[in-house]
Amino acid sequence: MEFQTFEEMVQAVSTCPNPAEIKKINTRQNKYIKSFENVEPTLEMRTEMLAQLIEAVSQEDFKIAPMMLDIRIRDGFLREIWEFSKYLSDEEMHPIFSGLLRFATCSTGEVRGQCLTVWAGLHFMVGNLDAIKAVQGLPEVEDISLFQLLGIALSHNVPAHVWGASLEAVSLESCLIGVG
């Protein structure tokens, strides 16, 4: 979809922020995370945040990449993009894939890991299994449960459409509210 070779994909997902940028990125990420320290976002807030995230990804505006740390927003994002993917061509999906990769290359730590996991998960849903293979072994994704589920699905040859169907089984509201 985005790459001519698997090696190009591996190089792209391995690209980390410039060392000179890391302090600035970490400061921005920490500031964002602290803004929600004493606030439990409501459904309305998460719905608005999801809309902002979708727009930001499409425009490669990486400043709100830390939103991916909210698992409910992340899962809502996956759910919405899966819905979009049924109606959009590969060319129309390209800004979403490239935006997520931009989020990852301009982030550090768990934010980077979540962005790479979502990027790999969306690729998996459209049938591109190489994306999961390209991200495997990166330390940022090792502890992310969703990435572990993707790895299990890949190792058991679960068809991509099954992963997408599992997203359809959960409403967007349920993704944003969460369980428990």
pLDDT tens for 96-135 read 999 999 999 899 999 999 999 999 999 898 888 889 999 9
- Which residues have a Cβ under 8 Å from the Cβ of 60 and sit 6 or more positions away? 95, 98, 99, 102, 103
Place of tokens 């301009």: 106
User: What 3-state DSSP class applies to 94?
Assistant: helix
Task: Output 45 or 33, whichever has higher pLDDT.
Answer: 45
pLDDT tens for 67-83 read 999 899 999 999 999 88
Distance (Å, rounded) from C-alpha 129 to C-alpha 126?
9
- Which residues have a Cβ under 8 Å from the Cβ of 173 and sit 6 or more positions away? 43
DSSP H helix total and E strand total for the chain:
10, 0
**What's the pLDDT score for residue 179?**
65
Tokens of 23: 């302090």
> Cα 126 vs. chain centroid, distance in angstroms?
14
pLDDT tens for 40-54 read 788 898 999 999 999
pLDDT tens for 128-170 read 888 999 999 999 998 899 999 888 988 999 888 888 788 888 8
Distance (Å, rounded) from C-alpha 65 to C-alpha 13?
16
